[in-house]
Every structure is written in structure tokens, then in C-alpha cells.
Structure 1
């Protein structure tokens, strides 16, 4: 096992109707491995599965590379290779551990700024494009780090205005233990802000609720 890496809480709330007609709900947490390399393989395996579903495989010959190299090498449909690097997005905490912080309002622009900084730092680290294209996958292991739709659009706008070295930048969200949803951050078509100026989002805030604290409340049908 590689160096132990902290993870948070993410997953989905599941509601069901029992055979007796009663309803029940529970939170299904994504169980991440503990080591850095194991977490990256866990994420990337599910990303490859998502990309290869519904048609001919897009990514084959997946190889996890040693340290001080790009995280993965794959073969794409034209037979050439592509590198992939993974990066966890961790929202900065006001105090203490980011994984322990709860509640509070979150700024769309602040989240977008932190995510853009992560991508641009990676781009600066690569310095210049090489012969083999690079894809960057950004993922989260904690519900509070998930960007809002507005933050995602601001990041897309920022990367469109100042493109990174990477050929593609995608954000990976876990839908369940084995299912992820990749969202393209770069490149994207059209205007991500749909004509709005970035300053429009200056004072807009949102809140992330802890899904593990959700409860299903059902009322019995009223008698007529």
C-alpha cells in the first residue's frame, strides 16, 4: 500500500419501498482505499469504465505508472498513447481539517478560483506540451468539495480564456461505489457563462448539506 491519504464522506442517499409497504432510507458511502496510489487507481478504473460504456472502448491498455511519472498511460482509438494525471480537489477550510468542516456558506467564485489554481499549477508544472497528450482528472472524496454548477461554469470560462497545457481537463463525480460521472472542464464549446460576466457571481453563495445526515420522513396515507 502507498502512503496513506485522507478521504472524506461522499455517496448517495438511497430510498426504498419494503415488501411490507413501508419506506426506508439510508446513506450509501463510497468506500475509498487508504493509499494514494490505490485511491488513484480506484478513481481511474471507474473513469475508464464510464468512458468505455455504451460503445467501442475509448481507453485500453491501462497502465499505472511508477512515482515521478504521469499517473496512467492508456491507448486511445487511433492506437497512440495518452497520459493521465489525477488530482484531488480539497476546498480550503477556515479552521482545522477541510474534511471536518461543516455548514457555512460557500462562494461560487472562491471555489472556482481554488479549482482554477489547482489546474493552472498542474499546467505550469508540465511547462510545455510534449509529444504525448496529457489529460487531467480532478476528483473529490468529500461532499463539501463538490463545486456548484456556477463554479464549474466559471472554471470552464477561465480555462477557455487562458487554456492549460493539458489536452483535456475533466471533473469526476462519484454517483455510487462503482459509478462516476466525468464532466468536461476543458475544452468546451460555446460560452460557459452564456453571456454573463464573471463579476455577476461575485457575491453569490451556496451551501453543501451532509448527505450522511439525511433522513427519510414518510407519512402514512390519511384515512378518508
Structure 2
């Protein structure tokens, strides 16, 4: 074999090695992309399951715009799973949309949670010195689902906590003038003038005379 042939063979070998190395690199990169895509799809599924669970276990409802975005995300995800090799930018796009939807869902859940629990939590806080340890336990149950990134068990605890809290509030018979009196008590603003006949009857009925303390104003 002459020198020119030897050089040509060696050159071809080097070129083939370079091609094989490039192909291996592409395979490794594609494997990473595929794994990322698999992880993102699981996150999409988890989001959808969480929304469905929240709407089943509570009276929470997504806005029409959010529902439409979730449906579009699901469709785009399905399309990519059947398209063969997935590109990195496509996975990034799905993940970006997923994060945006999660943020919007979290915002809507926060609004729902506040509307659903604010008055109940306020009344429970007022009744804390009357109803005893039950109040603290109920508040913990209700607040367990305050964060959107919660689980089914916490949703169940919140729902049951609200139900039991409303039952307790009904038993305590907290009429508006009694609520106002308790608010003043909490702020140390209550005076004898606030102790009208209905409030006194309620205090006697609940057996909490010894717990009521009114001081002198300064």
C-alpha cells in the first residue's frame, strides 16, 4: 500500500470515527430530551388530576380562560407524544406553558380559599376562648389546603374542617351583635354599654361569665 492510500484510509477512519462520535452525542442529547419530556408530561398529568380533585372535593371552579389553557396544553402534549422525536425547544415550550397555568391556578385558588374561609376563620378566632381546643384543631384543618400545591388528604381535611366549623358556629348562635361584641373584646374595646340583653343572655347560656373581663378605659 503506497503512502497516498495509507493516508486516505486513515483519513476515512478518522472521519467515520467523528461521525460515530457525533451520532452518539446526538443519541445522548435525545435521551436527555426524552427524559425531560417524560418528566414534564407527568407534571402535566399531576396538574390536571389536581384540578379535577379540587373541583370534586370543593366548590372551586377554574375560569373559562384557565380551562381553555389546560385543554390546549393537553392537546399539545398529546400531539408531541405521537410526533416521534421531540425537540428540546418543544419540551421547553410545554414546561413554560405548564408553569404559567400553575401560577394562574394558584392565584385563582388563593382567591377561592379566601372567599370560602375568611368569615369562618374570623368567627372561629372570635370563638377560640369559648369553644376551647376544638377551634385550634379546626383552624389547622382548614388551613392545611391554603396552598395550591396541596394534596387530596389536605383538601379532605379542609372540606371537613369547614363543615365542622360551620356546625360549631351554628351551635354557638353567633348573632351579629354578639360577633361585634366579641370583636371589641379581642381589641380590648368592649364596655358595659355593649352588654345588651341579648349579649348577656348568650354569655349566660354559654356559661362563659367568668371568661369575660372588661377593664377601665384610659
Larger helix percent: 2
TM-score, with length taken from structure 1: 0.20
Larger strand percent: 1
Structure with max Cα Rg: 2
